[in-house]
Amino acid sequence: MSAEIISGKDVAADIRANLKAVVADLPSQPTLAVVLVGDDAASQVYVRSKVRMTEEVGMRSIHHHLPKDASQEDVEMLLERLNTDPEVDGILLQLPLPNGLDEAAAIERIHPDKDVDGLTEVSAGRLSQGKSGLRPCTPTGCVILAKRALGEDLSGKHAVVIGRSILVGKPAALLFLAENCTISIAHSRTEDLEALCRSADILIPAVGRPEMVKGEWVKPGACVIDVGINRVPAPEKGEGKTRLVGDAEFVSCADVAGSITPVPGGVGPMTIACLLRNTVLAACARRGWPMPAEL
Protein backbone atom coordinates (compact mmCIF):
# COMPACT_ATOMS: atom_id res chain seq x y z
CA MET A 1 0.00 0.00 0.00
CA SER A 2 1.49 3.33 -1.08
CA ALA A 3 -1.32 5.80 -0.39
CA GLU A 4 -1.30 8.26 2.49
CA ILE A 5 -4.21 7.49 4.83
CA ILE A 6 -6.34 10.60 5.41
CA SER A 7 -7.64 10.24 8.95
CA GLY A 8 -11.02 11.90 9.20
CA LYS A 9 -10.94 11.06 12.89
CA ASP A 10 -7.82 13.19 13.40
CA VAL A 11 -9.02 16.06 11.21
CA ALA A 12 -12.40 16.09 12.97
CA ALA A 13 -10.62 16.23 16.34
CA ASP A 14 -8.65 19.25 15.10
CA ILE A 15 -11.86 20.98 14.01
CA ARG A 16 -13.53 20.31 17.38
CA ALA A 17 -10.47 21.61 19.27
CA ASN A 18 -10.54 24.78 17.17
CA LEU A 19 -14.29 25.17 17.75
CA LYS A 20 -13.81 24.82 21.49
CA ALA A 21 -11.39 27.75 21.46
CA VAL A 22 -13.72 29.80 19.24
CA VAL A 23 -16.79 29.09 21.40
CA ALA A 24 -14.91 30.11 24.55
CA ASP A 25 -14.47 33.61 23.08
CA LEU A 26 -18.10 34.11 22.00
CA PRO A 27 -20.47 36.33 24.02
CA SER A 28 -22.63 33.32 24.95
CA GLN A 29 -23.13 29.65 24.10
CA PRO A 30 -24.43 28.66 20.67
CA THR A 31 -27.31 26.22 21.06
CA LEU A 32 -28.08 23.15 18.94
CA ALA A 33 -31.51 21.53 19.17
CA VAL A 34 -31.63 17.87 18.13
CA VAL A 35 -34.98 16.25 17.29
CA LEU A 36 -35.25 12.45 17.38
CA VAL A 37 -38.49 10.73 16.37
CA GLY A 38 -38.99 7.07 17.26
CA ASP A 39 -36.73 4.39 18.67
CA ASP A 40 -34.30 3.54 15.85
CA ALA A 41 -31.23 2.17 17.61
CA ALA A 42 -28.67 3.61 15.19
CA SER A 43 -30.31 7.04 15.33
CA GLN A 44 -30.20 6.98 19.12
CA VAL A 45 -26.46 6.27 19.01
CA TYR A 46 -25.89 9.11 16.54
CA VAL A 47 -27.92 11.55 18.62
CA ARG A 48 -26.08 10.68 21.84
CA SER A 49 -22.78 11.24 20.04
CA LYS A 50 -23.91 14.57 18.63
CA VAL A 51 -25.20 15.77 22.00
CA ARG A 52 -21.98 14.73 23.74
CA MET A 53 -19.69 16.40 21.19
CA THR A 54 -21.80 19.56 21.16
CA GLU A 55 -21.31 19.90 24.90
CA GLU A 56 -17.62 18.96 24.73
CA VAL A 57 -16.85 21.99 22.56
CA GLY A 58 -18.67 24.26 25.01
CA MET A 59 -21.98 24.64 23.24
CA ARG A 60 -25.43 24.02 24.64
CA SER A 61 -27.46 21.03 23.46
CA ILE A 62 -31.23 20.59 23.63
CA HIS A 63 -32.58 17.11 22.91
CA HIS A 64 -36.22 16.53 21.93
CA HIS A 65 -37.41 12.92 21.63
CA LEU A 66 -40.82 12.28 20.10
CA PRO A 67 -42.44 8.81 20.21
CA LYS A 68 -42.49 6.58 17.13
CA ASP A 69 -46.23 7.16 16.73
CA ALA A 70 -45.80 10.95 16.58
CA SER A 71 -47.79 12.52 13.78
CA GLN A 72 -46.49 14.72 10.98
CA GLU A 73 -48.17 17.62 12.73
CA ASP A 74 -46.39 16.81 16.00
CA VAL A 75 -43.00 16.89 14.27
CA GLU A 76 -43.66 20.04 12.30
CA MET A 77 -45.14 21.90 15.29
CA LEU A 78 -42.00 21.13 17.31
CA LEU A 79 -39.79 22.38 14.48
CA GLU A 80 -41.83 25.57 14.20
CA ARG A 81 -41.46 26.11 17.94
CA LEU A 82 -37.69 25.74 17.66
CA ASN A 83 -37.65 28.14 14.70
CA THR A 84 -39.15 30.87 16.87
CA ASP A 85 -37.08 30.12 19.98
CA PRO A 86 -34.49 32.93 20.17
CA GLU A 87 -32.14 30.72 22.20
CA VAL A 88 -31.88 28.04 19.48
CA ASP A 89 -29.24 28.65 16.79
CA GLY A 90 -29.32 25.33 14.95
CA ILE A 91 -31.93 22.61 14.42
CA LEU A 92 -31.03 19.04 13.51
CA LEU A 93 -33.80 16.62 12.56
CA GLN A 94 -32.32 13.14 12.90
CA LEU A 95 -33.07 10.99 9.86
CA PRO A 96 -34.57 8.62 8.92
CA LEU A 97 -38.00 9.37 10.33
CA PRO A 98 -40.37 6.48 11.14
CA ASN A 99 -42.43 5.07 8.27
CA GLY A 100 -45.43 7.15 7.40
CA LEU A 101 -43.80 10.52 8.05
CA ASP A 102 -42.83 12.87 5.23
CA GLU A 103 -39.14 13.68 5.69
CA ALA A 104 -38.98 16.24 2.90
CA ALA A 105 -41.95 18.19 4.24
CA ALA A 106 -40.53 18.13 7.76
CA ILE A 107 -37.12 19.37 6.62
CA GLU A 108 -38.76 22.28 4.83
CA ARG A 109 -40.23 23.41 8.16
CA ILE A 110 -36.73 24.19 9.45
CA HIS A 111 -35.81 27.85 9.05
CA PRO A 112 -32.88 28.10 6.60
CA ASP A 113 -30.89 30.23 9.05
CA LYS A 114 -31.05 27.34 11.55
CA ASP A 115 -30.65 24.57 8.98
CA VAL A 116 -27.30 23.25 10.23
CA ASP A 117 -27.63 20.13 8.06
CA GLY A 118 -27.90 22.35 4.97
CA LEU A 119 -30.79 20.29 3.57
CA THR A 120 -33.61 22.77 2.98
CA GLU A 121 -34.47 23.98 -0.51
CA VAL A 122 -33.34 27.49 0.43
CA SER A 123 -29.96 26.17 1.62
CA ALA A 124 -29.59 24.19 -1.62
CA GLY A 125 -30.50 27.27 -3.64
CA ARG A 126 -27.97 29.42 -1.82
CA LEU A 127 -25.28 26.81 -2.50
CA SER A 128 -26.16 26.51 -6.20
CA GLN A 129 -26.04 30.30 -6.61
CA GLY A 130 -22.83 30.70 -4.63
CA LYS A 131 -24.53 32.76 -1.95
CA SER A 132 -23.58 32.57 1.71
CA GLY A 133 -25.40 30.01 3.82
CA LEU A 134 -25.08 26.76 5.71
CA ARG A 135 -23.58 23.93 3.67
CA PRO A 136 -24.35 20.19 3.93
CA CYS A 137 -22.05 18.56 6.45
CA THR A 138 -20.81 15.41 4.71
CA PRO A 139 -19.89 17.14 1.41
CA THR A 140 -18.17 19.92 3.36
CA GLY A 141 -16.16 17.27 5.17
CA CYS A 142 -15.12 15.81 1.82
CA VAL A 143 -13.68 19.15 0.68
CA ILE A 144 -11.83 19.64 3.97
CA LEU A 145 -10.27 16.17 3.74
CA ALA A 146 -9.23 16.73 0.12
CA LYS A 147 -7.54 19.96 1.15
CA ARG A 148 -5.79 18.20 4.00
CA ALA A 149 -4.27 15.80 1.47
CA LEU A 150 -3.65 18.12 -1.48
CA GLY A 151 -3.31 21.58 0.05
CA GLU A 152 -5.69 24.51 0.33
CA ASP A 153 -5.70 25.35 -3.37
CA LEU A 154 -7.66 22.77 -5.36
CA SER A 155 -7.86 24.96 -8.48
CA GLY A 156 -7.79 23.05 -11.73
CA LYS A 157 -8.14 19.60 -10.16
CA HIS A 158 -10.58 17.26 -11.86
CA ALA A 159 -13.05 16.02 -9.24
CA VAL A 160 -15.28 13.09 -10.17
CA VAL A 161 -18.27 12.51 -7.90
CA ILE A 162 -19.90 9.10 -8.28
CA GLY A 163 -23.51 9.62 -7.22
CA ARG A 164 -26.05 12.39 -7.77
CA SER A 165 -28.04 12.35 -4.52
CA ILE A 166 -29.30 15.60 -3.07
CA LEU A 167 -27.65 14.67 0.25
CA VAL A 168 -24.07 14.16 -0.96
CA GLY A 169 -23.46 13.88 -4.70
CA LYS A 170 -24.92 17.14 -6.00
CA PRO A 171 -23.78 19.38 -3.11
CA ALA A 172 -20.30 17.81 -3.14
CA ALA A 173 -19.99 18.65 -6.84
CA LEU A 174 -21.04 22.26 -6.19
CA LEU A 175 -18.64 22.63 -3.25
CA PHE A 176 -15.70 21.34 -5.28
CA LEU A 177 -16.77 23.63 -8.14
CA ALA A 178 -16.61 26.53 -5.67
CA GLU A 179 -12.97 25.51 -5.06
CA ASN A 180 -12.33 26.00 -8.80
CA CYS A 181 -12.19 22.30 -9.58
CA THR A 182 -13.38 20.90 -12.88
CA ILE A 183 -16.37 18.70 -12.04
CA SER A 184 -17.80 15.48 -13.42
CA ILE A 185 -20.85 13.83 -11.84
CA ALA A 186 -21.10 10.12 -12.61
CA HIS A 187 -24.16 7.94 -12.10
CA SER A 188 -25.82 4.70 -13.19
CA ARG A 189 -26.24 5.90 -16.79
CA THR A 190 -22.65 7.13 -17.19
CA GLU A 191 -20.86 5.49 -20.12
CA ASP A 192 -17.42 4.02 -19.44
CA LEU A 193 -17.45 4.90 -15.76
CA GLU A 194 -14.05 3.32 -15.20
CA ALA A 195 -12.36 5.58 -17.75
CA LEU A 196 -14.01 8.68 -16.26
CA CYS A 197 -12.83 7.70 -12.77
CA ARG A 198 -9.29 7.17 -14.04
CA SER A 199 -9.26 10.82 -15.17
CA ALA A 200 -9.98 12.10 -11.66
CA ASP A 201 -7.45 13.92 -9.51
CA ILE A 202 -10.03 13.71 -6.73
CA LEU A 203 -12.41 10.74 -6.77
CA ILE A 204 -15.48 10.83 -4.50
CA PRO A 205 -17.51 7.58 -4.51
CA ALA A 206 -20.91 8.23 -2.92
CA VAL A 207 -23.35 5.60 -4.19
CA GLY A 208 -23.74 3.08 -1.35
CA ARG A 209 -22.41 0.09 -3.32
CA PRO A 210 -19.83 -1.88 -1.31
CA GLU A 211 -16.33 -1.80 -2.79
CA MET A 212 -17.59 -0.87 -6.25
CA VAL A 213 -14.53 1.22 -7.14
CA LYS A 214 -11.50 -0.98 -7.83
CA GLY A 215 -7.84 -0.06 -7.92
CA GLU A 216 -7.75 -0.09 -11.73
CA TRP A 217 -10.38 2.66 -11.70
CA VAL A 218 -8.03 5.04 -9.88
CA LYS A 219 -5.55 7.40 -11.51
CA PRO A 220 -2.06 6.88 -10.02
CA GLY A 221 -1.53 9.43 -7.26
CA ALA A 222 -5.19 10.49 -7.09
CA CYS A 223 -6.96 11.45 -3.89
CA VAL A 224 -9.88 9.13 -3.03
CA ILE A 225 -12.50 10.49 -0.63
CA ASP A 226 -14.76 7.51 0.11
CA VAL A 227 -18.23 8.56 1.31
CA GLY A 228 -19.68 5.04 1.32
CA ILE A 229 -20.52 3.27 4.57
CA ASN A 230 -21.73 -0.26 3.88
CA ARG A 231 -22.18 -3.19 6.22
CA VAL A 232 -21.21 -6.50 4.64
CA PRO A 233 -20.98 -10.07 5.97
CA ALA A 234 -17.74 -10.92 7.79
CA PRO A 235 -17.75 -14.71 8.27
CA GLU A 236 -14.10 -14.55 9.32
CA LYS A 237 -15.31 -12.83 12.50
CA GLY A 238 -17.87 -15.51 13.22
CA GLU A 239 -21.33 -16.54 12.15
CA GLY A 240 -23.63 -13.61 11.51
CA LYS A 241 -20.87 -11.01 12.00
CA THR A 242 -20.44 -7.98 9.74
CA ARG A 243 -17.88 -5.30 8.95
CA LEU A 244 -17.96 -1.80 7.48
CA VAL A 245 -16.55 -1.08 4.04
CA GLY A 246 -16.64 1.90 1.74
CA ASP A 247 -17.67 2.28 -1.88
CA ALA A 248 -13.99 1.90 -2.82
CA GLU A 249 -12.13 -1.39 -2.46
CA PHE A 250 -9.62 -0.07 0.03
CA VAL A 251 -6.62 -2.35 -0.48
CA SER A 252 -6.53 -2.22 -4.28
CA CYS A 253 -7.28 1.52 -4.39
CA ALA A 254 -4.66 2.31 -1.74
CA ASP A 255 -2.04 0.58 -3.91
CA VAL A 256 -2.63 3.15 -6.66
CA ALA A 257 -3.92 6.33 -5.00
CA GLY A 258 -1.74 9.04 -3.55
CA SER A 259 -4.11 9.46 -0.62
CA ILE A 260 -7.32 7.78 0.54
CA THR A 261 -9.82 7.93 3.38
CA PRO A 262 -10.49 4.73 5.34
CA VAL A 263 -13.90 3.32 6.23
CA PRO A 264 -14.61 3.64 9.09
CA GLY A 265 -12.61 6.64 10.31
CA GLY A 266 -12.66 8.75 7.17
CA VAL A 267 -15.57 10.93 6.07
CA GLY A 268 -17.88 9.74 8.87
CA PRO A 269 -16.29 11.65 11.78
CA MET A 270 -16.22 14.81 9.66
CA THR A 271 -20.00 14.97 9.43
CA ILE A 272 -20.49 15.71 13.13
CA ALA A 273 -17.52 18.09 13.21
CA CYS A 274 -19.00 20.09 10.32
CA LEU A 275 -22.41 20.06 12.02
CA LEU A 276 -20.86 21.70 15.09
CA ARG A 277 -19.05 24.19 12.87
CA ASN A 278 -22.33 25.06 11.15
CA THR A 279 -23.97 25.66 14.52
CA VAL A 280 -21.30 28.23 15.41
CA LEU A 281 -21.63 29.87 11.99
CA ALA A 282 -25.43 30.00 12.39
CA ALA A 283 -25.14 31.51 15.86
CA CYS A 284 -22.78 34.25 14.69
CA ALA A 285 -24.97 35.10 11.69
CA ARG A 286 -28.20 35.12 13.71
CA ARG A 287 -26.90 37.03 16.69
CA GLY A 288 -24.77 39.56 14.82
CA TRP A 289 -21.52 38.34 16.37
CA PRO A 290 -18.30 38.87 14.39
CA MET A 291 -17.56 35.79 12.29
CA PRO A 292 -14.42 34.15 13.74
CA ALA A 293 -11.60 34.12 11.19
CA GLU A 294 -10.64 30.62 12.32
CA LEU A 295 -13.83 29.19 10.78
- Give the whole-angstrom CA distance, residue 72 versus residue 87: 24
Q: Can you give the chain as a three-state secondary structure string?
A: CCCEECCHHHHHHHHHHHHHHHHHCCCCCCEEEEEEECCCHHHHHHHHHHHHHHHHCCCEEEEEEECCCCCHHHHHHHHHHHHHCCCCCEEEECCCCCCCCCHHHHHCCCCHHHECCCCCHHHHHHHHCCCCCCCCHHHHHHHHHHHHHHCCCCCCCEEEEECCCCCCHHHHHHHHHHCCCEEEEECCCCCCHHHHHHCCCEEEECCCCCCCECHHHCCCCCEECCCCCEEEECHHHCCCCEEEECCECHHHHHCCCCEECCCCCCHHHHHHHHHHHHHHHHHHHHHCCCCCCCC
Is 44 one of the catalytic residues? no
- Give the whole-angstrom CA distance, residue 202 versus residue 134: 23
Is 50 one of the catalytic residues? yes
Please pick, among 89, 113, 117, 201, the residue that the annotation labels catalytic: 117
Please pick, among 94, 113, 157, 226, the residue that the annotation labels catalytic: 94
Is 219 one of the catalytic residues? no
Please pick, among 50, 157, 170, 219, the residue that the annotation labels catalytic: 50
Which sequence positions are flagged as catalytic? Answer: 50, 94, 117
